[in-house]
Chain A
Amino acid sequence: QAVVTQEPSLTVSPGGTVTLTCGSSTGAVTSGHYPYWFQQKPGQAPRTLIYDTNNRHSWTPARFSGSLLGGKAALTLSGAQPEDEAEYYCYLLYSGVRVFGGGTKLTVL
């Protein structure tokens, strides 16, 4: 089974920009992996920020954007807010099977 890798932790200053990445043990991540990005705060259910690489939901703040970067899926946060401190997960599609990354704990400090 493929392994999906994320940075275990990242720190960003308030108002700063940070990019979280999502890599695949099978090679470059492409749009055919249909990457999703989820945000989860303590005690809450996850919520979807980005689906199919770069599509936002109506509830997704405009400061979050999804892309493909350097062979990985990427979630960029531009203008970090204190409320963005959370765990972020990606997942990728492999021939019908979805695999989650281990998550990135993002600290806004």
Chain B
Amino acid sequence: QVQLVQSGAEVKKPGASVMVACKASGYTFTIDNYFIHWVRQAPGQGLEWMGTINPSGSRIIYAQNFQGRVTMTRDTSTSTIYMELSSLRSEDTAVYYCVRTHGYWGQGTLVTVSS
């Protein structure tokens, strides 16, 4: 069965960067139509799409709100997708999810930004 397992919770200071990992299993990772999306949810708020990457890395699209601050990469040898968010501010405190095409979700990673 398709599984996405994310890295653990992080606490960061304002201005720092965070990298969240999403390890995929249970399917052929290299099928290029199976994009991984990143979605975040701030406390008490709705869902926000951050961007997407395909397994080959040939197609990467970032949401306008995160352009210049987010980088998505992948490691096909470990079937892992990474999302790095830089210049963190308190408003970036949220649960970050990876989601595969057809809607398979990771368990979420809490990122807390606090001085």
Q: Give me the interface of A with B, judged by CB distance under 8 Å.
A: 1, 36, 38, 40, 45-48, 51-52, 55, 57, 89, 91, 96-100, 102-103
Q: Which single member of B47, B48, B49, B61 contacts A46 (CB below 8 Å)?
A: B47
* Cβ contact of A45, chosen from B63, B64, B102, B107, cutoff 8 A: B107
Is B104 engaged at the interface, CB distance under 8 Å to the other chain?
yes
Known contacts A89-B46, A100-B46, A102-B46; is-contact A46 B105 (Cβ 8 Å):
yes
24 contacts between A and B (CB under 8 A): A38-B103, A45-B95, A45-B97, A45-B105, A45-B106, A46-B97, A46-B105, A48-B99, A48-B102, A48-B103, A48-B104, A51-B103, A55-B102, A57-B102, A89-B46, A91-B47, A91-B49, A97-B49, A97-B64, A98-B37, A100-B39, A100-B47, A103-B46, A103-B47
A interface secondary structure, majority: strand
Among residues of A, the one whose C-beta sits closest to the C-beta of B95 is: A45
Closest B residue by C-beta to A100: B47
Residues of chain B with a CB closer than 8 A to A89's CB: 46-47
Q: Judging by beta carbons under 8 Å apart, are B52 and A98 in contact?
A: yes
Whether A57 contacts B107 by the Cβ 8 Å rule is no
Q: Which chain B residues lie closer than 8 Å to A47 at the CB level?
A: 103, 105
Q: Assuming the A-B contacts A45-B97, A46-B97, are A100 and B49 also in contact, with contact meaning beta carbons closer than 8 angstroms in the complex?
A: yes
